[in-house]
A and B are shown apart, each in its own frame.
Chain A
């Protein structure tokens, strides 16, 4: 039976916001379903667990704040906004004169990329051959299993 990982931090609204943002940071196309998947969320959830408490708090707060902010970009909350309006909000954060918002965007984007580009399914798409010592074991079997799409994810 496959291992199961239960999300600890990215739940409810935070998960909705994360998935919606991840779909825009790494959009789907014919080769890939993109970043907005539970597997990306689970990889990020595990990494958030290891974050320094102050940074963890700020990152999780960002997911909460982004949802109502969506209203100012087209009238709907972020997770329900159109792709165009989601991009407008993300771009506003990225180039904002307030450095805390730019930092928030940088953190969000970094974690989404961590959750996606460290996985073996993404490696195939980008033609990265992966580790030479492919079978070298690692103590955190959940992390390894997530990277190999061998772990079930529970919300």
Chain B
């Protein structure tokens, strides 16, 4: 099948969805625009709140390890992308981080009004006291007792019913992600959404791909399954990291761009648990409302509240046998938090393609990241004990399940140490892959300019987290949307020359 459009957007997550929304003025003027999404289009009633049934929302059903197996990557593969299974945690990238990125013309002053605009559109709120469940209250109590500053996490919610299943699809539509805000507006304005469309490569203003069969109980697109060629005046890759760099690699761009697919950061994360003497029932209510950035500058990590369902929790615990069985019997007493390391972009951390041309991430966790994650585990244990937990479970501890009596407070850093880190055994995960199509000055050090335009290819753009030259340090979706807003603005500004 051969089709023609003015603009084709590849991917419907934070970048692609925002791009579509911002290009509505062009659609209203008659431009033909399509969004291609490799995953299915799930209706709200699909989200059954059962984790085994919802694994299909994730790429490879959640079994997507880095090449060396040390980090499991969670990436949404559906209309809405990873906004389908994020918690709505909304952070503006810090001004200093944007300056450190050192991208020509990209300044905090440019991004600030975009953040403000998005903040309003997505209904970002500070959670009120009736949204704070017991797991979050314990986190605050622990931090307060230690005298540590703790802040509320801003969330993009409207009429949230607090059912607590944000990470496996919001059944109520309370989470104001791409599925609720940007896409409905774009579709209403005539922008076509084509789900189940996998892009194989791009070349000469043409997208080559395949439409798969519509999975059961998902919304069908208008086109039948089969191979498709789409000619477009502008192609915007927003398939995320490693999706967008992989498309360019499959299209032969790696011969021209030495940095393509490289400088990947993962925001490596460990979810850690404490056992409180009474039921916490963290699986009910909104999972994330507090964080502490106390150690962000000094030790490169954030500690945020979190909560997960039973199967995923068993992966985080890193236990088996009677330890696992007996610990899981106290699941309703778990206090839970996630620690996120601000990893540095390194050239050797990169996207690779397998024999079937599927992307994988080759990534070595650096000694600095391991040290930071160990430091964070010690601080997490402090918070847990200050909150009243009887036990803490830390994968890098000399003894993985321990009480306050086992380790004096001033010895925690000696007890939880990098020499106990063993890759794969310590269950590190990533939900924030970034980089691979970094913005920058020239073809030698980057893939695109600060407007996401691929150097030397006026018909080809990138608009997603793969643009980040370094980690955003914070949950990245709002920064991705702000960049997409900027890229779309420039496309509209220059549209008289190409449309």
Contacts and interface: CB of A to CB of B under 8 A. Distances in A.
Contacts of A47: 52, 55, 61
A117 B314 contact: yes
Interface string A113-150: 11001100011011111111100111110011001000
B494 interface: no
Contact of B425 (A43, A102, A129): A102
B49 A139 contact: no
Interface in B422-448: 422-425, 427
B252 interface: no
Interface of A is mostly: helix
Interface in B153-186: 163-165, 171
Interface stretch (B241-249, B324-332, B343-351): B324-332
Interface of B is mostly: loop
A103 B69 contact: yes
A25 B328 contact: no
Given A117-B328, A118-B50, A128-B310, A87 B279 contact: no
B60 interface: yes
B427 to A, nearest CB: 8
A13 B73 CA distance: 31
A75 interface: no
Contact of A136 (B49, B51, B311, B322): B49
Contact of B424 (A50, A102, A133, A137): A102
B325 A113 contact: no
Contacts of B332: 126-128
Residue among A25, A31, A117 with most chain B CB within 10 A: A117
Contact of A27 (B52, B60, B309, B321): B321
Contacts of B55: 47, 50
A143 B53 contact: yes
A24 interface: yes
Given A133-B49, A147-B52, A54 B354 contact: yes
A51 B61 contact: yes
Residue among B281, B283, B309, B321 with most chain A CB within 10 A: B321
B310 A117 contact: yes
Given A29-B325, A114-B311, A123-B310, A52 B60 contact: yes
Contacts of B325: 26-27, 29, 32, 34
Chain A interface: which size bin?
Answer: 35 or more
B221 interface: no
B320 interface: yes
B310 A133 contact: no
B331 A126 contact: yes
Nearest to A56: B63
A55 interface: yes
B216 interface: yes
Contacts of B322: 27, 29
A137 B171 CA distance: 13
A102 B281 CA distance: 32
A151 to B, nearest CB: 14
B149 interface: no
A127 B162 CA distance: 20
Contacts of A152: none
A8 interface: no
Given A47-B61, A51-B63, A131-B165, A139 B216 contact: yes
A102 B423 contact: yes
Contact of B52 (A24, A31, A102, A143): A143
B424 A126 contact: no
Contacts of A95: 422, 425
Contacts of A26: 320, 324-325
B284 interface: yes
Nearest to A94: B425
Nearest to A108: B320
A28 B283 CA distance: 25
A132 B49 contact: yes
A25 B321 contact: yes
A109 interface: yes
Contacts of B279: 127
Nearest first, the 5 closest Cβ-Cβ pairs linking A and B are A131-B49, A118-B52, A103-B69, A113-B314, A127-B332
16 contacts: A26-B325, A52-B63, A55-B63, A94-B320, A102-B422, A102-B423, A117-B328, A118-B50, A126-B331, A127-B279, A129-B283, A131-B48, A133-B171, A137-B48, A143-B52, A147-B50
Interface of B: 45, 47-53, 55-56, 60-61, 63, 65, 68-70, 163-165, 171, 216-217, 279, 281, 283-284, 309-311, 313-315, 320-322, 324-325, 328-332, 354, 358, 422-425, 427
